[in-house]
């Protein structure tokens, strides 16, 4: 199962607090041996970026402790991958690609 959004992750971390552009929370994984027993999280629009500041726990450890198989967001929570429905290229007058929009 995946979180629907960043709020789903924060709901599993009731002691999380915002600090600038990121959130700090006690790490949900046991076994820290350093004073930094916290986790930093940031919302990357389609997934949460997480770091155990104790350096002991991997991304997968953190996902499992939170009850998710990934911290990539899935609107229905079931982990279904989005599929590309269309791509739109935008070019300058010389035909040089400026950017691409992908519709899922």
From the centroid of its chain, how far is CA 28?
15
Residue 34 or 4, more confident:
4
Asked whether residue 11 is domain-assigned, the answer is yes
Asked whether residue 64 is domain-assigned, the answer is yes
Asked whether residue 67 is domain-assigned, the answer is yes
Which SS3 state, helix, strand or coil, does residue 11 take? Answer: helix
Asked whether residue 1 is domain-assigned, the answer is no
Q: Give the chain's domain count.
A: 1
Instruction: Write out pLDDT tens, residues 14-54.
Output: 999 999 999 999 999 887 766 678 899 999 988 999 998 87
Does the reported pTM lie above 0.75?
A: no
């Amino acid at each position: 199962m995946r979180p629907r959004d960043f709020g789903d992750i924060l709901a599993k971390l009731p002691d999380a607090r915002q600090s600038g552009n990121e959130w700090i929370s006690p790490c949900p994984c046991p076994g820290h041996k350093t004073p930094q027993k916290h986790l930093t999280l940031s919302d990357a629009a389609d997934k949460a970026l997480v770091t155990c500041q104790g350096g002991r726990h991997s991304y997968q450890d953190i996902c499992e402790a939170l009850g998710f198989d990934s911290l990539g967001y899935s609107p229905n929570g079931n982990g279904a991958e989005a599929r590309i429905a269309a791509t739109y290229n935008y070019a300058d007058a010389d035909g040089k690609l400026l950017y691409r929009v992908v519709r899922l």
